[in-house]
Amino acid sequence: MIASLFIGQGVDLPWVDDDVLAEPIVAERVALASEHARCDIMRLLTRGGRDLARSEIVQPAMVAVCLGVHRLLEQAGVTPAIVLGHSLGELTAWAAAGGLDDRDAIALAATRGRLMAREAALHPGGMVRVKGDRALADRVLADGAQHGWLSLGADNGPDEYALAGDEAALGYVLPRYPAVRLAVAGAWHSPAMAGAVDELALAVAAVPKNTMRAMLIANRDGEVATEATIASRFVDQLTHPVQWVTCLTTLARFEPRRLLAVGPGKTLRALIHRNLGVDKHVEMIDSMRAIEAAARA
């Protein structure tokens, strides 16, 4: 059994080699993302620019590139039986499972990014990564809540938690705990995003849904989602923490023979190894050479 895992926002673009971006199947999806973001994303990917830090641009860009890589893998005969994605990566996984057309997934990514950027401007804040056990994370949450608001944004591993909060709470905990500010534009997966929920739900409801060909493990509860549950699970993760530990625990129960990570190597591999053990081999798919190697494996 092959499992594909997709990265979300919060990593630097581009993370794939230029030969991948040059492939027509990838370029077509990036062009769709450009239409929705109203900017030349391929130019940004090849030349760089500050706009790649904007959620309304990076989210459709990330989904477009990840889906392009996934389709290249499919062309090479590599088809996963189970998929999951971290945060935004869940939208890529939903399309990779067959539940959404790529065009609709990219459009939803643009909508999600725009709504999250709007809410981040209305409710300024950010996220920090805390390294330590759950007791430490709970202590940070309690102390931060005395100076502002702070909530769990992602349960990434037995020793890593992402916390979302306002500037007052973050400013208090950063110098006092083993915490690092994350390079994200807002307090993701927290109540700060509540104003985006209804609009995202309407956008998700408006796109056609297809029968999923692969199992999809949802961030919201770490369980295998169905066509009847994935839409609400995806919308819910806007304001609830990513249950990544539970996701990977569920994945391990299926004992996949191969793990394919579509996203920046260090980020996804670290998240997988932290939960499943460093002995787990992870195939990093970030170049045509990697895709060709995956096809031969």
Q: Do the beta carbons of residue 100 and residue 108 sit within 8 Å? A: yes
Q: Is 189 an active-site residue?
A: yes
| Tokens standing for residue 241 | 């923490």
First to last CA, the chain: 13
Going by the DSSP 8-state scheme, the letter that residue 242 receives in this structure is: B
Q: Do the beta carbons of residue 17 and residue 68 sit within 8 Å? A: no
| Tokens standing for residue 288 | 């045509």
| Tokens standing for residue 18 | 């230029």
Phi, psi values for residue 192, rounded to 5° = -60, -20
Q: Is 34 an active-site residue?
A: no
Amino acid at the residue 287 = S
Catalytic residue among 4, 34, 87, 151, which?
Answer: 87
**β-strand pairing of 126-131 with 160-165:** antiparallel
Q: Where are the alpha helices (DSSP H) in 48-175?
A: 55-75, 89-96, 102-122, 134-144, 167-173
Q: Do the beta carbons of residue 182 and residue 129 sit within 8 Å? A: yes
Catalytic residue among 36, 70, 86, 189, which?
Answer: 189
Q: State how far the alpha carbon of 248 is from the alpha carbons of 8, 26, 87, 114, 233, in Å.
A: 15, 28, 14, 29, 17
**Distance between CA atoms of residues 60 and 220, nearest Å:** 21
Catalytically annotated residues: 87, 189
